[in-house]
């Protein structure tokens, strides 16, 4: 009897617990139902056209306007050196003297022979007019003169080549030979010096195919270097290549004057700022409004209180804004915050 009472009591307690649990579940479900979000809070901006001033920059390396390796055009021993590294030399300046004793002797002999055959030819010209000489004698005199003239010109040039000069004005950057060194002529000519003209510098940079079509020859650019903090050099676009490389970038060559107290050196890093002379207008939105991937950018547009997901085509980036080429219209309202909770066609509430 007691056992039956115990079982009955247990069943009664279990029933009470189950009833409580069912009641609590109903309350939780009812409460959750009452807390369903009716509209997602977001912040927005209005898409409008704005004036922009495009600025493209790229890093390049400066190069000398002229960079010339000077080769020996004669053979012999260097008897004098008239330059040192760092010297500025005008075009035509003598840098080295090569032993010229034999060359000078050959020149003296060639000059004497040239002068003699020249006078002989003049005499035969007079005699032929007086019919006192034969045509054969005149032709022989003319041939002798022509041969002597060629030998004279050759000897004169060979003597001149013993003075090694610079073909351009510039700064000596290297002198690999010293007094007493032996130099050779072509075909194994000796490198005797390198001279660079840095009165003007070239800066070669590569820009994207999109940017290459925005630039043109003669456009002004600003150039800066980390070596001269706060200093800006002015240059201009000299050439824009018509052929891109494997990375679809296009080489551009910049020219800048390099005079004054502050001078750049060849081989330095430089940043080039391409300044568009024309101010353009673009339809822009904040970059934070973008959702989706880089290849498939999207934005949420507000329509009658609902968020509509739109595909867009991007243009350039201007600070914190991006240009929208297509996908939205001026005046439309774009969601800038709260997109993570949104899906297409959900109700939203605009907050301040």
Cα–Cα distance list, 195 to 10, 11, 75, 315, 317 (Å): 108, 108, 21, 46, 43
Please give the model's pTM, rounded to 2 decimal places: 0.61
- How open is the CA angle 244-249-251, to the nearest 5 degrees? 75
User: 228 or 115: whose pLDDT is higher?
Assistant: 115
Cβ count within 10 A of residue 152? 21
Backbone φ, ψ for residue 290 (5° rounding): -75, 140
pLDDT, position 295? 77
pLDDT, position 170? 93
The architecture in CATH of the region 56-64+197-275 reads Beta Barrel (2.40)
How far is residue 284's CA from residue 214's CA, in Å, rounded to a whole number?
A: 19
Q: What is the pLDDT of residues 152-189, one digit of tens each?
A: 999 999 999 999 999 999 999 999 999 999 999 999 99
pLDDT, position 184? 96
Q: Are 52 and 318 in contact, with CB atoms under 8 Å apart?
A: yes
How far is residue 251's CA from residue 105's CA, in Å, rounded to a whole number?
A: 53
Q: Is the dihedral of CA 157, 158, 163, 166 positive or negative?
A: positive
Place of tokens 């060849």: 266
pLDDT, position 263? 84
Q: What is the pLDDT of residues 5-15, one digit of tens each?
A: 555 556 555 65
Q: Pinpoint the residues of the chain covered by CATH 2.40.420.20.
A: 41-52+280-350
Asked: is 41-52+280-350 a CATH 2.40.40.20 domain? The reply is: no
Q: Pinpoint the residues of the chain covered by CATH 2.40.30.170.
A: 56-64+197-275
Backbone conformation region of residue 207, classed left if phi is above 0, alpha if psi is from -120 to 50, else beta: beta
Average pLDDT over residues 298-323: 87
Q: Is the dihedral of CA 107, 108, 109, 114 positive or negative?
A: positive
Q: Are 254 and 205 in contact, with CB atoms under 8 Å apart?
A: yes
């Amino acid at each position: 009897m007691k056992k039956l009472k115990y079982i009955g009591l247990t069943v009664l307690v279990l029933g009470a617990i189950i009833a409580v649990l069912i009641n609590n579940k109903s309350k939780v479900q009812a409460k959750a139902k009452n807390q369903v979000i009716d509209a997602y809070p977001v912040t927005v901006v209005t898409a409008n056209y704005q004036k922009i001033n495009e600025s493209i920059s790229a890093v390049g390396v400066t190069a000398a306007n002229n960079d010339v390796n000077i080769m020996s055009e004669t053979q012999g021993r260097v008897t004098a050196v008239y330059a040192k590294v760092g010297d500025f030399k005008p075009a035509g300046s003598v840098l080295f003297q090569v032993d010229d004793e034999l060359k000078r002797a050959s020149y003296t002999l060639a000059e004497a022979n040239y002068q003699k055959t020249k006078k002989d030819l003049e005499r035969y010209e007079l005699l032929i007019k007086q019919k006192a000489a034969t045509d054969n004698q005149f032709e022989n005199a003319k041939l002798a003169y022509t041969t002597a003239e060629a030998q004279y010109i050759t000897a004169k040039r060979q003597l001149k080549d013993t003075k090694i000069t610079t073909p351009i004005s510039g700064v000596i950057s290297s002198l690999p030979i010293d007094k007493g060194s032996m130099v050779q002529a072509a075909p194994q000519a000796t490198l005797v010096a390198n001279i660079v003209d840095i009165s003007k510098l070239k800066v070669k940079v590569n820009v994207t195919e999109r940017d290459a079509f925005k630039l043109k020859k003669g456009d002004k650019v600003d150039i800066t270097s980390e070596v001269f903090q706060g200093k800006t050099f002015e240059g201009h676009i000299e050439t824009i290549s018509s052929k891109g490389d494997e990375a679809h970038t296009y080489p551009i060559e910049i020219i800048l004057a390099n005079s004054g107290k502050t001078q750049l050196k060849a081989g330095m890093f430089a940043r080039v700022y391409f300044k568009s002379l024309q101010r353009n207008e673009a339809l822009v939105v904040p970059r934070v409004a973008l959702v989706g991937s880089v290849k498939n950018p999207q934005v949420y547009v507000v329509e009658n209180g609902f968020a509509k997901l739109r595909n867009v085509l991007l243009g350039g980036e201007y600070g914190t804004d991006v240009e929208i080429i297509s996908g939205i219209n001026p005046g439309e309202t774009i969601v800038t915050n709260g997109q993570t909770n949104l899906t297409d066609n959900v109700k939203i509430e605009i907050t301040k």
